[in-house]
């Protein structure tokens, strides 16, 4: 089993979905985890539930409010994490949103909101966590991209562009800060989370027929990849994008 004993990890968007699974998976591997959540109704309670689950399993966790749209908020969140745990050994930039529109009808505000959360948010959290990691002389950053950042999709041009930007960000930063800090990304395919709760049965059937693995993914299909990239077992990986996507992109 991959071990993260003695390590610390900060995970954004960790109160639900893939981020929740990542936080719990890192804790089960031995890391002390900062469970970051956005400042929206119900999110602090969800984050507290994640912390309670980690602690019930014998782990250590701390709920942290952080709005990835705000430099001030993220700087304060990282400072709170470092006050408790020191510089993170692992940073998982997972916070993200999904909206849908054809580009010819897309409100400018929808485009800006997507880039603000899904791309600028990765920059902001990394910007404030990275100095401590560099000073400590170690670290692993894992960014959550998407298979759509590789292959694209209609009505998701803004999402695809943001996630493609995350992949480019990952590669460029890896060249800048490796080997001191390794930087990698994951590009999951369609995963069964609340984000897919409203999809039609027709869409689900069509997507499952299209996927080489014949099914939508589960959060547990994604978490082991993140734990691996966070660990010393992936010590020769940097600038990579690993895709637990059921064969959707095949890049």
pLDDT digits (tens, 9 = 90+) for 215-250: 999 999 999 999 999 999 999 999 999 999 999 998
Q: What is the pLDDT of residue 201?
A: 84
Q: What is the pLDDT of residue 204?
A: 84
Which positions are catalytic? Answer: 159
Rounded (10°) CA dihedral 60, 63, 67, 72: -80
pLDDT in tens, 188-203: 999 988 777 777 788 8
* Sheet of 32-37, strands arranged across: 61-65, 32-37, 8-11, 90-93, 140-144, 182-186, 241-242
Q: What is the pLDDT of residue 238?
A: 98
3-state secondary structure of 101: coil
Q: Give yes or no for residue 152 having a pLDDT over 80.
A: yes
Q: Alpha-carbon distance 228 to 245, whole Å?
A: 16
Mean pLDDT within 160-179? 98
3-state secondary structure of 93: strand
Q: What is the pLDDT of residue 143?
A: 98
CATH architecture for residues 8-242: 3-Layer(aba) Sandwich (3.40)
Cα torsion angle, 169, 249, 197, 113, sign: positive
Q: How many CA atoms lie within 13 A of 9 on its CB side?
A: 40
pLDDT interval class at 35 (50, 70, 90): very high
Q: What is the pLDDT of residue 203?
A: 80
pLDDT interval class at 40 (50, 70, 90): very high
Q: State the pTM of this model.
A: 0.95
pLDDT interval class at 67 (50, 70, 90): very high
Q: What is the pLDDT of residue 199?
A: 74
Q: What is the pLDDT of residue 191?
A: 92
Please state, rounded to an integer, the average pLDDT across all residues of the chain: 96
Q: Alpha-carbon distance 26 to 76, whole Å?
A: 23
Q: What is the pLDDT of residue 23?
A: 98
pLDDT in tens, 68-119: 999 999 999 999 999 999 999 999 999 999 999 999 999 999 999 999 999 9
For residue 9, how many other CB atoms are within 10 A of its CB? 31
């Amino acid at each position: 089993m991959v071990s993260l004993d003695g390590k610390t990890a900060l995970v954004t968007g960790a109160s639900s979905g893939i981020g929740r699974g990542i936080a719990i998976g890192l804790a089960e591997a031995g890391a002390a985890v900062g469970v970051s959540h956005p400042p929206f109704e119900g999110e602090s309670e969800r984050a507290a539930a994640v912390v309670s689950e980690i602690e019930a399993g014998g782990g250590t966790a701390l709920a942290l409010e952080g709005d990835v749209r705000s430099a001030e908020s993220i700087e304060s969140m990282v400072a709170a994490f470092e006050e408790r745990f020191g510089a993170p050994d692992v940073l998982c930039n997972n916070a993200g949103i999904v909206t849908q529109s054809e580009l010819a009808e897309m409100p400018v505000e929808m485009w800006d909101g997507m880039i603000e959360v899904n791309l600028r948010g990765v920059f902001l959290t990394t910007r404030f966590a990275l100095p401590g990691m560099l000073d400590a002389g170690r670290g692993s950053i894992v960014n959550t991209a998407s298979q759509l950042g590789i292959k694209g999709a209609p009505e998701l041009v803004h999402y695809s562009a943001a996630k493609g930007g995350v992949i480019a960000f990952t590669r460029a930063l890896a060249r800048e800060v490796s080997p001191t800090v390794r930087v990698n990304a994951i590009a999951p395919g369609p995963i069964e989370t609340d984000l897919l709760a409203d999809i039609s049965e027709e869409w689900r059937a069509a997507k499952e027929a299209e996927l080489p693995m014949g099914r939508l993914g589960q959060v547990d299909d994604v978490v082991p990849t993140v734990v691996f990239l966070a660990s010393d077992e992936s010590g020769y990986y940097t600038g990579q994008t690993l895709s637990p996507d059921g064969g959707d992109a095949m890049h």
